[in-house]
Each structure stands twice: as structure tokens, then as C-alpha cells.
Amino acid sequence: MNAPVQTAEARELALAGMGASRLRKEDARFIQGKGNYVDDIKMPGMLHMDIVRSPIAHGRIVKINKEAALAIPGVHAVLTADDLKPLKLHWMPTLAGDVAAVLADEKVHFQMQEVAIVIADDRYIAADAVEAVEIEYEELPVVLDPYAALQPGAPVIREDLAGKTEGAHGKRDHHNHIFTWDAGDKSAADAAFDKAEVTVSQHMYYPRVHPCPLETCGCVASFDPIKGDLTTFITSQAPHVVRTVVSMLSGIPESKVRIVSPDIGGGFGNKVGIYPGYVCAIVASIVLGRPVKWVEDRIENISSTAFARDYHMDGELAATADGKITGLRVNVVADHGAFDACADPTKFPAGMFHIVSGSYDIPAAHASVKGVYTNKAPGGVAYRCSFRVTEAVYLIERMVDVLAQKLGMDKAEIRAKNFVKKEQFPYTSAFGFEYDSGDYQTALDKVLEAVDYKGLRAEQAAKRADPNSPTLMGIGLVTFTEVVGAGPSKICDILGVGMFDSCEIRIHPTGSAIARMGTITQGQGHQTTYAQIIATELGIPSEVIQVEEGDTSTAPYGLGTYGSRSTPVAGAAIALAARKIHAKARKIAAHMLEVNENDLDWEVDRFKVKGDDSKFKTMADVAWQAYHQPPDGLEPGLEAVHYYDPPNFTFPFGIYLCVVDIDRATGETKIRRFYALDDCGTRINPMIIDGQIHGGLTEGFAVAMGQQMPFDAQGNLLGNTLMDYFLPTFVETPHWETDHTVTPSPHHPLGAKGVAESPHVGSIPTFTSAVVDAFSHLGVTHLDMPHNAFRTWKALREHGAAL
């Protein structure tokens, strides 16, 4: 107690708790190349797996000849669906209530589908052996367009579902129909349209894209034939769910299955699903009794593991003549590929698409989503967004622009007119979501002022008046609301497991701590930010708090990291686990200071006796006491576990503005300015928030300006290498300006809402809004993505604006 007395502020600063821009704990190992990714894992006796894939998009397997492959020295096994049949592992359940072929069973349904696996001494021998497996196919007609797939005479994609008129999400009325999902009130919406003074409608296609994380998917499966237990290192955003599924599929008790997600090089939804490669590697390891590694290459990643989007959308708005929206109708045809493997909460086959009423107070709304099978790879994951929120935000933001254009109103003005007002929160939308909090107008005003919106519009008018202007100038504006933090287990589950999340905190005798979580970081910086939450809650410096995730044998059960759920759900679990510890610590401190609990005040890192600053016990003092001599009637130790089941989703929002200059000669679009204001509620680490926003904006830029997965008529995917698939580097990426407001979530223990996906969700329609705005004086209401130079140049020519 002889140390110089530090002020509370100084002590708080030293904790590096919530609100501090603490440097990322993860970076030291990553920038030195010392991360530990799945492909870094080497085990004694490890074999390598490679996959034989279908060259065609639809066909029957006539014959498979393994002999030549098996004759290659170093090849241990070649397995096909027929080999998996006795184990009943040739098909597996998907997260969406469908089944997917592990290895093609009699038929191939999409190009690059897994047909056989080869296990060999090394990756090179495996790759050679893949070429030696001879497969004869009988080609079948290919269906790639979901509208064509729904025609009466369309080829049957899923023969295994013959006669099944009931799917996981209700009636199927066609052999290629998966489900039709409705939300909102159709008759109320129809009535709004009947009475409307103005209506607008717009068709738009949200292209199939791929999250394309830097690290592809893979695993190392290691079955111990003596102990009978299975350890699998895997690129998974949800290791606990993988453990449950693996146990259910293999029959190995969950207690003997250990799933570890080591360092993950980006996920963005691509690493939520269970892929055939994982299942095959596990089976191979069980069969051969040796560790088996499978790591897909880039082409396999883009071609066969989960894609995102592929929504064909029709939107309609009804409004009064002065621009008050009275009704919304949405019809979507969703291309899910050959198996329905969307990663959505079980009851929501179109995810949270019904956030489609956006930030606007729309009294009547209805949305209908029809899922369709086609001869493409399965997927339909949330690519850096909460489930299907990107599609929903894109639709409503485009529609509001279209309406503004029809009415000759300004984009900002029509938005302000229709906002859910600050005093309306908590606000229940026409689709039944209860928005927790928001203040859209304040945020919009802040952005318009920051960019001098009026000045920009004046500049645009001047450019339009000049026929020799070399560029078309466009201003995009989006005022979006996200729904994240899935979710309340009474409505949200994955394979029957509620979408809670968990945290276990142990304070060690000398006052440092370890926290273990059910989530898994893939670049979000959990090891940094989670420690900050504990630091603030318990007064322990974040430097001495260790955060561990991803190992199912040590971490408490959790549903993983996707849909911006880590902070809203796991972050809350941390706070509440810490508060359990805090309550016990208070009892111990009271005992140590010989006062009543109620006579103690908590200040930063210590319990103080009210009115006497010199009498206090720090959390470190308390921890020692807890292990050394706990008060009578209290258990020794200082730890807690909390499973947090969120009462509601959280609703972060943002106001994004983008200025583009389109070269009238080349169609090249220059992003002159991009201003992103985000409100994610309470901010835990502003530096990490900025980093997440930069990343999300960059991925949004990628989607809007270049990413697509084009197929030719035969179902060949023509964009599955990084030569074709656009991943922006710092060369292409524009400069981002970020800003924020803070509107805490009232139901979250910390008030935090989650942020990583907002910039992706919000930026994509902003780019489209800007590009279309550049053409709006020519009567253009919508242009589909991607807005690459060639497509934009064609639009310039079509509308007589090319130089």
C-alpha cells in the first residue's frame, strides 16, 4: 500500500478496458508468419487427401475405375459413394434441413462436385492419382436459371427427392422447388397498393458471389484406433456445432470427439458449413487409423464451397404523392444450387431477409422467397452479413432510390421523411422485428454536413449541364439497418441447438485470468476485445487476461462466430460471467475489510469502503483471498460460466455516402469519396472497429464493382480463379472515411450491437446507388452489379452517354 496513489482515471487507463484502442494481441504472431493455421499442422504418419471432382454440371455416373489410381505407389485408398454406403455416410444432412451428397451417388449435380477421394503419402501423389481415376459419365441436360428450373418440363435435378412433396420448410410444388417462405401481411400490403397514389417496381439481380477467404477450407482428421477418439483440426467458424454433427454422423460419442479451430484466415460465412471434404477426411482417418489432411485449393474453394447471394428480386413500393411510403412488396426467386445448404437459423429459410423494410416506418409489408434447385454448387451463406440481410438492405435501399426518382425527390429527403423516428424505439416493424434503438436522423444530418451534400449536388448539376464533361458524377446514399446477434433461442436454432453463446472466466490466485469462449475469431480480434470487456468489468489489466477459443475440449459450448453475433451474444456472456465473479468478489472483499457488502463501492479495479479511500481491496487482493482463505460459507476459487440467450437481436445502423466519377470514354468508375458513419452502440475498441469497417467496405467494394461467378450454358464456372475473381488489393481499394454515433442497445448488458458486417451490408447498395445516380438524369433507375468498367461502358453506350 506504499505505492504512490494513482487516480482512478490513471488506473482505468492502465487497464486498457472498453473504449481503448488497444493494439491487437493477435498481430504479433501473424506479422511474423507464426500463426498456426490448419495447413501448418503436421502429425506423425499423416496422409493426404485429394478429391476427384465432376467436370460436368449434370450427369449420371456410368462407371468408376479406380485400378490405375490404386496402382500408383504411395496411394493408400480410393473411396467413392459406394464405399461410404455401408457406413450410411454417402449423404449427409445440411444445416437447412436438406441432404447433400458427400460423394456423388449415381449422379453428379454440379460441376466440381465431389465424386471420389484419394488418400496418398503426399499431396503430389494424391493429385496424380486423382487424374488416374477413370470416370465415365452420361451427360444430362443442365438447368442453371432458377426460373427455367421451375418450368413444368424442366430436368429433374434431385432424383433422390422424387415424390417428396413436403420439404423442411413446407410444401414443394415442383421437383426443383425447395420452399416458399412468406413474411409480413400480404392482404395488408395488397390493400396499401390498391390505395396508393404512387407505386414503383424494379427487378434486380443480386449476383452469385463467393466470400473467398484468404485461407481456403480444410482439416486434419486424426482418429486414434486404440482410444477410439477423434481429433479434428478444422477451418470452422462454429467448432462446437461441427462436434455435434460429427458425433451424430459417425456415432462416436461427443465426449470422444475433439474439434479444434486453430488460427482461421478469414471466414466470412464460407467456413460455417460442413463440407464433404471434412467428412471424407474423417472417414479416411477412421478407416486407415492414421491422420489425414485435406486442404482445398483456390479453384475448389470458389467452385464448390459455399457461395453467397444469387437472389433474383422484384421490389415494389406504394407511397403517397409527397413520398410517404405506405406499402412494400417483395418477391424473390432464390437460386440455392443443387442442395439446400444455406446456413440460416432453422426456422428461417431466407434468414433475416424480412429486415427488408429497412430503416423506414412502413405500415404494410409482405415478402415471399422461393428457393429453387439448379445445377450449381450449394451454399447460400451470409457473406460478411447477418443471414440474407445484405440482399434485403440492397433491395429496400434501391427501391427507396427508385421511388425518389419517380417523385423527383432528393434521396436524403425521402429517407428522412420515412425514417423510424428516434422516439418510436423500441419499434416493431411490419415484419415483426422489434428494433432495439436508433437515431437515424442525427446520423444522416452528420454525414450530409460532413460531405457538404448540397455542394456535391450543385457540382453534379454543373457537370450535367456541360456536354463536354469527361465524367458522369454520381452520389450514392444509403441509410441502412442491420439485424445481428442471432439469436433468441425460442426462435433461433441450428440443427436444434439454440443460438446462445457462452463464456467461462477463471481468475487465477495472483489476479491474472483466462477466459474461454464458444465463439472463434477469424480476424475479428477477439483475443484483444474480449479481454477489454473483462478488464472493465473486473478491474484486471487486459494484458494479463488470456482469451482462448476454438477448442471444444476446453471451451464451453457455443454456436460460433458469424452474423456479427460475437459481441452481441458472446460479448454479453462475458459481461454476465464477469458480473457473477464480481458479485462473489464483493462478498470476499467485504469479509476482508470487515464491513457489510453494501458498505462497499466499486471503483475501476477495487472495492472501497464508502467514505474511506484508504480502505480498499483490489481484484488481485480478492483473488488471492479466494484461493488462500475464503470466507466461511463461500466456495474457494473465483470463476464463473455464463450461457447467454439473447432476449432480442441487435440493430446496428449506418449512413453511407459515396461519390463516383465515371469515365464516359472507358466506363471506369473512380470512387472519389466514401464516407461511412456507423452506429454499433457501445464501442469496445475503436481501432478494431475502424479495421473491421475498412475490411467490410473493401469487401463491399469487391462485390459491387467486380465479383461474380459466371456460368456458361453447360454449367462451367468461368470465374473460379483469382485471375477472374475480383479480390481488391490496396491498388484498387479507395480511401475510406469513417465516422460514428453511439446509440447503445437497451437490452444488451454492454449496450454493444456488433459491427463487422455493417460496412459490407451498407456499402454494396451505396456503390450501386452512386453508379445509378450518375445515370439518373438519363432515366436509368437501376443497373445490376457488378459495376465493372465493361458493363458500365455498355450502359454508357446504351444511354447515349459514352464519349
Partner 1 sequence: MEVKLDKQYPLDVDAARAWALLTDLKATANCMPGAEITEQLSETSFKGGVKVKVGPAVAQFGGTVDVIEAVAAERKMVLRGKGADKGGSSASMDLTAIITADPANPAHCVLNGQAAVIVNGKFAQFGGRMMVQVSDMLLAQFVENFRQTALTLPAAEGSPAAAAQVAASGGDAAAPAAAPKAPVVAREINGLAIFWALVKSWFGGLLGKKA
Site of interaction with partner 1 (CB under 8 A): 53, 55-57, 111, 131-132, 134, 136-137, 299, 712-718, 720-721
Closest by Cα among 777, 715, 630 to 337: 715
Q: Residues in the chain, how many?
A: 803
Nearer to partner 1, 111 or 244 (CB): 111
- Shortest distance, position 48 Cβ to partner 1, whole Å: 19
- Shortest distance, position 391 Cβ to partner 1, whole Å: 27
Closest by Cα among 655, 757, 81 to 381: 757
Please give the positions annotated as active site: 237, 384-385, 757
Nearer to partner 1, 202 or 714 (CB): 714
Tally the C-alpha atoms within 13 A of residue 173's C-alpha that lie toward its C-beta: 5
Nearer to partner 1, 106 or 134 (CB): 134
Dist. CA 577–CA 596, nearest whole Å: 23
Tally the C-alpha atoms within 13 A of residue 413's C-alpha that lie toward its C-beta: 10
Nearer to partner 1, 178 or 709 (CB): 709
* Residues contacting 502, CB < 8 A, separation 6+: 517, 518, 555, 556, 557, 558, 570, 573, 641, 642, 643, 644
Angle between helices 758-775 and 389-407 (to 10 degrees): 30
Closest by Cα among 346, 649, 670 to 493: 346
- Shortest distance, position 114 Cβ to partner 1, whole Å: 12
- Shortest distance, position 321 Cβ to partner 1, whole Å: 48
Alpha helices in 156-238 (DSSP H): 186-195
- Cα 738–chain centre separation: 21
With vertex at residue 108, the alpha carbon angle to CA 102 and CA 112, rounded to the nearest 5 degrees, is: 75
- Shortest distance, position 47 Cβ to partner 1, whole Å: 22
* Residues contacting 679, CB < 8 A, separation 6+: 438, 439, 443, 652, 653, 654, 740, 741, 742, 743, 753
- Shortest distance, position 785 Cβ to partner 1, whole Å: 21
Which residues on adjacent β-strands are paired with residue 60? 107, 138
Cell of 614: 484508504
Nearer to partner 1, 298 or 672 (CB): 298
User: How many angstroms separate the Cα of 754 from the Cα of each of 54, 80, 386, 524, 536?
Assistant: 40, 43, 11, 11, 18
Nearer to partner 1, 649 or 726 (CB): 726
List strand residue ranges (DSSP E) for 576-633, in order.
600-603, 606-609, 612-618
Nearer to partner 1, 107 or 591 (CB): 107
- Shortest distance, position 52 Cβ to partner 1, whole Å: 8
Which residues on adjacent β-strands are paired with residue 224? 229
- Shortest distance, position 432 Cβ to partner 1, whole Å: 44
Dist. CA 226–CA 475, nearest whole Å: 66
- Shortest distance, position 781 Cβ to partner 1, whole Å: 31
Dist. CA 308–CA 481, nearest whole Å: 20
Nearer to partner 1, 111 or 222 (CB): 111
Dist. CA 301–CA 213, nearest whole Å: 9
Nearer to partner 1, 132 or 578 (CB): 132
* Residues contacting 797, CB < 8 A, separation 6+: none
